[in-house]
Structure 1
């Protein structure tokens, strides 16, 4: 009986870890995700070993009962022992009651795990919507930057035309007084320097625009990859939920055995292991923010 009590405590701890993992999926960064998944796998291993241990104890009890029945068959002519028969009946009833209690606890744990999985994938759907809205916002910002670059081009062309006009005017006034010539030369040099500075600024803006465009493409590729991973997780969750529903139905019908429960837990363990390979929290919307804010230095 103590084995089943410890098993129930482990299942409660596993459900608590699942809830923590579900809540952490909504955050931007989760540094303990790997640790939680490893703890889930460890608890599943311990539950599996305890079920195996209880199954081996049940087999030993059945063997002991078979020996008692053999002795009774061998001494069929001897008078019955009432106390011994009552002890055997009580032991059989206790074993059946323990098995029913264990099956009820396993059913409760499976239903709780099902609800936790539903909440987890609901939060993943919300993350997908957030990423889509972030990408749409960044595309809008990129269009604004492109318009700003076009304005800088037009301003640069206007300044270049002014410089050319000043140069022509300076050439026409070359024969004028020295004071006027010196002033015009200084103005021309100042305009040329400003034009040069604006040209450099325009080149930097163009480089930043190309970099942002490339990073946006990478972010869109990441979004497609995340969508594929989420579809794969939804398929795995559907498989896990179907197994939980089937396990519940078989337990309700009284057809489930401890070794079958162990097989179902092994399948759920594989599903949790597959979650460890999907790094959603580390490649979320923050990377899109970094790729747009790091290069945005246009005045």
Structure 2
């Protein structure tokens, strides 16, 4: 009987530390500190993101990726804190916590870096677009100034011609007025001046149309010149590449002739060179054909629209 009591007491003694340790296991509620602040910040970011998506002007905002990355980081932080709260008060390793923290910080840093790269690239593209638009506006402004100056010069020339014609008709009609009476001569002089003014107005309109057409032709020619310049640059690069290939082929032929290396496939190299030269020939023929067509078209337009201000 005493033996049973000893065994029972010893068994109870063995079970007692386990029960005591189990009663001392508690949740780690210290990890919940700051979760409310993170949740508030997350709600604010979600509201800003929704407003930016609803607004058409800010729909393609460059900070969109940055907000998304920040929200993901906050969610990871909240999840890790809640997981810490669920763990029991057993032995924890500071090294594992530090690794997890560093891993989260590294992920957040990479996401922020990617967002900044996207933002910088979008800003660079917007800057290039704005620079192109400004150059276009400056070009249009210069064209308008040139057109205004040309119109002023033509207006002054026409005014001088009108004055000369008025003086000429006044002198011619002065002698007729002395013989036939003042009223009849003045009416005839006014009618002739009106007719002359009408003719000059028509000539002015024709000259303005011709000038406007020549301005458009000049602008088209400048654009064509830019395109042909780019084509010539491309052709120049192709020529350089072809020359390098020819030199390389020549060197390989010399090396294969001097040593016992396997001979170079001459047929394949010759076919490649023929293809390159045929490409050059097509580019040159296309350029010559386009150039001749543009010259004939511009010449015909000039001959058809040539105004005569002094007529």
In the superposition, the TM-score normalised over structure 2's length comes to: 0.40
Higher relative contact order (CA 8 A, sep 6+): 1
In the superposition, the TM-score normalised over structure 1's length comes to: 0.41
For the pair shown, the structure with the greater C-alpha radius of gyration is 2
